[in-house]
Amino acid sequence: MVKRKKSNIGDKTHFETKAVHAGVKPESVTGAVMTPIFASSTFAHSSPGNHKGYEYSRTQNPTRKALEESLAELENGSKAFAFASGVAAQSAILETLKPGDHVIAFDDLYGGTFRLFNEIKAKSANIEFTFTDLNKNFSKLIKKNTKMIWIETPTNPLLKITDLKRIARIAKKKKILTVCDNTFATPYNQRPLDFGIDVVNHSTTKYINGHSDVIGGCLVIGKNKSLEKKLSLIQNSVGAVPSPFDCFLTLRGIKTLALRMKKHNENGLKVARFLKTVKKISNVTYPGIQGHKQRDIAQKQMNGYGGMITFLYDGTLSEIAKFMKKLKIFTIAESLGGVESLIESPALMTHAYSNDKEFNQVPKNLVRLSIGIENAEDLINDLKKAFKR
């Protein structure tokens, strides 16, 4: 178990209670139960250099501090850093590397992550990336300059699962930093730090906020003073921080995270089981159903399987687009993790950038669903009707 700071509500508190209370205390002046939006760019000093812990909102802001403390507790971490987006958070942890360093990354990643690696960091920072299936023997790819292993589990969009404890064990022997994008799982379903991972990354835009009205990201680390100092410097120096209003909205979303994830998990399983019966599609992928290649790993390290489902549609991209347009409840949109159900074609949308390049694992006829918290029967009926039309 990772070492972490003492919780203000008790270390043995259940997740549902942490989601409501972690990092949040009644405001000292008014007693406001919800953390206020501290919309101030700067803070007064009683005398030069003498202040109450806040100087300038890029460096620190009370609303952002509450969010960061909440995120750290939800992931069983010691310190969290909030950013203006998920890829801003990813860029920040990559800033800890030096030119010439080598990163081993999963061969199935969010398209924006791959773009950040290949188009920005590889070219401007001279960082070397190797993409591989981390479920295979990746140890042979480790070199003297390998400084980081980058994980997604479940991956986006193929929903691969990988053994976090195994990767952490191999990495620690070689003193390699491990980073896990936990966006699809959320800390409700999976807490990578508990399995020995060094850094957890989230696009808080997704399930953490859960209402499709904020862009945000974060990094959460265990007790590591050296890394904490580096990330504090990067966060402040680069300045890709969220506004107090965005922090406020994300804090609000966190309060219902446990309730929402329970429903996402339930609906995801029901819809996945229905899709297995549809003749028009194949290769239904969901970690919670029979047939998933890494289901045994998922059962060991996850408490639930989330709301993300993929399948292969028997048809052309044009036919897939027509099918999607027939849906009434599902919205055609990028992103995921909101209360509403979404559908997308990675080949036409989120992974269009990488579809004809080196990173081309995603089948063109793959369809991705983000299952919301609506009534599962209504979602299944919507899909049934669209398949029939």
The structure tokens 């990767």 sit at 167
Query: For the chain, give me the number of helices (H) and strands (E)?
Result: 13, 12
H or E element in which residue 261 lies? helix 257-275
The two structure tokens encoding residue 162: 């990988």
The structure tokens 């690696």 sit at 117
Q: Known catalytic residue: 246?
A: no
Q: Pick the closest to residue 146 from 180, 182, 101, 114 (CA basis).
A: 101
Helices (H), 276-316: 295-301
Edge to edge, the sheet with strand 79-83 lists 79-83, 217-221, 199-202, 177-181, 146-152, 102-106, 128-132
Q: What does the mean pLDDT of the chain come to?
A: 94
The two structure tokens encoding residue 349: 């949308």
Annotated catalytic residue, options 4, 18, 64, 110: 110
Considering only CA atoms, give the Rg of the chain: 21
DSSP state of 95: T
Q: Known catalytic residue: 206?
A: yes
Q: Are 207 and 337 in contact (CB under 8 A)?
A: yes
Task: Render pLDDT for 177-215 as a digit per residue (tens, 0 to 9).
Answer: 999 999 999 999 999 999 999 999 999 999 999 999 999
Q: Which residues pair with 368 in a beta bridge?
A: 310, 344
In the chain, the percentage of residues whose pLDDT exceeds 70 is 95
Q: Known catalytic residue: 58?
A: yes
Check whether 385 has a pLDDT greater than 90.
yes
Q: What is the pLDDT of residue 369?
A: 98
**Backbone torsions φ then ψ of 344, nearest 5 degrees:** -150, 160
CATH of domain 257-388: 3.90.1150.10
pTM metric for this prediction: 0.94
Q: With cut-offs at 50, 70 and 90, classify the pLDDT of residue 4.
A: low
Task: Render pLDDT for 78-121 as a digit per residue (tens, 0 to 9).
Answer: 999 999 999 999 999 999 999 999 999 999 999 899 999 999 99
DSSP state of 5: P
Check whether 314 has a pLDDT greater than 80.
yes
List the chain domain ranges: 15-254, 257-388
Q: Are 102 and 126 in contact (CB under 8 A)?
A: no
**169 CB-near residues (< 8 Å, 6+ apart):** 196
DSSP state of 312: E
Q: Does domain 15-254 have CATH number 3.40.640.10?
A: yes
Q: How far is CA 355 from the centre of its chain?
A: 22
In the chain, the percentage of residues whose pLDDT exceeds 90 is 89
Task: Render pLDDT for 358-375 as a digit per residue (tens, 0 to 9).
Answer: 555 789 999 999 999 999
Annotated catalytic residue, options 58, 166, 255, 364: 58
Check whether 73 has a pLDDT greater than 80.
yes
The structure tokens 């205390």 sit at 25
Q: Pick the closest to residue 56 from 42, 45, 39 (CA basis).
A: 42
Q: Known catalytic residue: 110?
A: yes
**193 CB-near residues (< 8 Å, 6+ apart):** 2, 75, 76, 77, 200, 220, 221, 222
Q: Determine the Cα–Cα distance for residues 173 and 171; give it in Å rounded to an integer.
A: 5
Pairing mode, if any, of strands 308-313 and 146-152?
A: unpaired
Annotated catalytic residue, options 163, 181, 246, 382: 181
- Sequence letter at residue 381: N
Check whether 243 has a pLDDT greater than 70.
yes
